[in-house]
Amino acid sequence: MVLAAQGESQAAGAALEQLCRTYWWPLYGFVRRQGHTPEEAQDLTQGFFLLLLERKDLNAVRQEKGRLRSYLLVSLKNFLAKAQRRAMTIKRGGGRALVPLDELILRENAQPESATELTPDRIYERHWALALLEQVLARLQNEYREAGKAQLFDELKQLLTDDPTRLSQAAIGQKFAMNENAVKQAFHRLRERYRLLLCEEIAHTVAVPEEVEDELRHFIAVLQS
């Protein structure tokens, strides 16, 4: 993802936008957990991304640097350590459309951070995992919508969760005039496609293919913690 975001091409711009959208919420969550108000955290997170772009730090990143998740968190910690509050006069947005702050505010209002003992690092990890999960489910939903199976997707994806209100496979079969075996096969295909897309998303953020499985195990562990 970092390599694709380098340069001035249209493809680089699209990759850069995806990178910002994926990591904005996790990084913002880390800053909030440091004790900053929402407004302060917005300014600090925005300032971090703007500095990253203005200094073209991503152009210096090479594949041997390792996981993007770790690289950005270390960079943010360095940024926060050097930032003096009296010098923080960053304008929100800075003239660049990264991630609209109104999206961030709406998301925080809809998903208030519970009072837990999670450290800032754990908050960051959890938001990172949820951001990847959202991207994978969005890609899956789009594929099923294009195939004219959007409603089936809405029911099958619930089988991936522990939601007590979800329909059983038998109930899904009745709803869509499918026998239970057909539902089982459909869910198996969705689950396999889900895993493949998840591996693809993770592969965008690691240096070498050998790291994908380790990062996938880490992703699962974060969601289960």
Q: Determine the pLDDT at residue 90.
A: 46
Structure tokens at 124: 């960051």
pLDDT level of residue 187 (50, 70, 90 thresholds): very high
SS3 150: helix
Q: Which residue has the higher pLDDT, 3 or 70?
A: 70
* CA distance to 26, 88, 166, per residue, from 120 (Å): 10, 21, 33
Q: Within a 10 A sphere around the Cβ of 6, how many other Cβ atoms?
A: 15
* Averaged confidence pLDDT in the chain: 78
Predicted confidence (pLDDT) at residue 68 exceeds the cutoff of 60: yes
Positive/negative CA dihedral, 96, 99, 102, 104: negative
pLDDT level of residue 7 (50, 70, 90 thresholds): low
pLDDT level of residue 210 (50, 70, 90 thresholds): confident
In the chain, % of residues over pLDDT 90? 24
Q: Within a 10 A sphere around the Cβ of 53, how many other Cβ atoms?
A: 16
Mean pLDDT of 158-183: 88
**Which amino acid is located at 185 in the chain?**
Q
Q: Which residue has the higher pLDDT, 42 or 101?
A: 42
Q: Determine the pLDDT at residue 100.
A: 52
Q: Determine the pLDDT at residue 205.
A: 78
Mean pLDDT of 154-171: 87
**Which amino acid is located at 166 in the chain?**
R
Q: Determine the pLDDT at residue 56.
A: 66
Are the C-beta atoms of residues 183 and 173 closer than 8 Å to each other?
yes
SS3 65: helix
How many Cα atoms are found within 13 Å in the side-chain-facing hemisphere of 41? 19
Burial of 127 (0-12, 13-18, 19+ CB in 10 A): buried
Q: Which residue has the higher pLDDT, 61 or 194?
A: 194
Predicted confidence (pLDDT) at residue 8 exceeds the cutoff of 80: no
pLDDT tens-place string over residues 97-149: 445 555 555 555 555 555 457 788 988 998 888 888 888 999 999 999 999 99
**Which amino acid is located at 83 in the chain?**
A
Rounded to whole angstroms, the Cα distance separating 141 from 146 reads 9
Q: Within a 10 A sphere around the Cβ of 139, how many other Cβ atoms?
A: 16
The residue ranges of every structural domain in the chain are 1-113, 119-225
